[in-house]
Structure 1
Amino acid sequence: MGAGSSVPARKPKQQQQQRIRRTKSWAVEDTSKIVDRPLSRSFILQLQCAFHEIGTQRGCRSENYLQQRGYGALVGLHSNWIGHFILASARLSDRLLEEHHLIYQLHSQHIGAVINLQVPGEHASCGDGVLLESGFSYTPQHLMERQIFYFNFPMKDSKEFDLDYMLDICHTVDSQIAAGEKVIFHP
């Protein structure tokens, strides 16, 4: 090798370790011909979401408040407090709003705004699905008619956003907290 070269020498083919994958405890498959290529994060999330739906009565297990560890902040909605002013939750739905009187619960917890991070039409097969008129699992107008502010900051799963976009979200949350209200976020 010449001076300054940093390319490692290749091992002869018979010395290269053969990669194997066990498909069953007794089956071995040669994977040396499979191209090493990472799966995109969004594809993995779609697969994860699809597998979460298998065997559940109402879609994603993450949306089923009965499967939440401990007690949720709101009855009927998978939710947890993050500090004193921010509530993280699963997606709302018109059915949940009606069945569990979530509007009343939001008011009783002094939650004055819903921050929706969902892209319209996203996760159409999760939970109660999406409504054609709104593109979400609930009608935002129902919240606004009952004096709960609604903000949509669409964030596609696993996508990076610029600082200005994130600051817009932070400014919105800060203005609600400064007004004495709490906020609820959902993906």
Structure 2
Amino acid sequence: MADAGFDEYVQARLGQWSRVAYLLTGDHHAAEDLLQNALFKLALAWRRISIDAPDAYLRRILYHEHVSRWRRSHHLRSEHVTDRVPERVAGTDLAADAVRRILLRQALEKLTRKQRAVIVLRFFEDLSEPEAAEALGVSVGTVKSQTSRALARLREVAPELHVLVKETREVRA
């Protein structure tokens, strides 16, 4: 199936892709399933793709798989118990971090899957409009319109996000 280069790639990028999958699904278990399926498809194609561009290839698989899953079925959300305690970084405010994550997750849940995918690509992965369009297999105009609609929707249904924007600007200053 895959080779050592694939294993090295997965080890180096697993954390980043896990975060992206979580942002798309809003659920750790669904994110693990989504990423596992995407990595399986990548492994099958590993020898055919350019080693210089596995991120773009995996990104496209991941986003298409995410939208396809939603089309096939709507899954129920539930809480999941874990035996792992999150690591604490010195000097971080765990309560404030939790509030930010909850606000962001709730806001993303209020978007359509396509809007969520565009927001994650553009603002979490920091892709340009043409890169996001390529990852999703749509036109740049579609990315622009979906981004505009998503941001308008967020302003409407999640005005509490202004707190996150304000905090981000303060950190940068």
TM-score (norm 1): 0.28
Determine which structure has the larger helix proportion and give its number: 2
Determine which structure has the larger strand proportion and give its number: 1
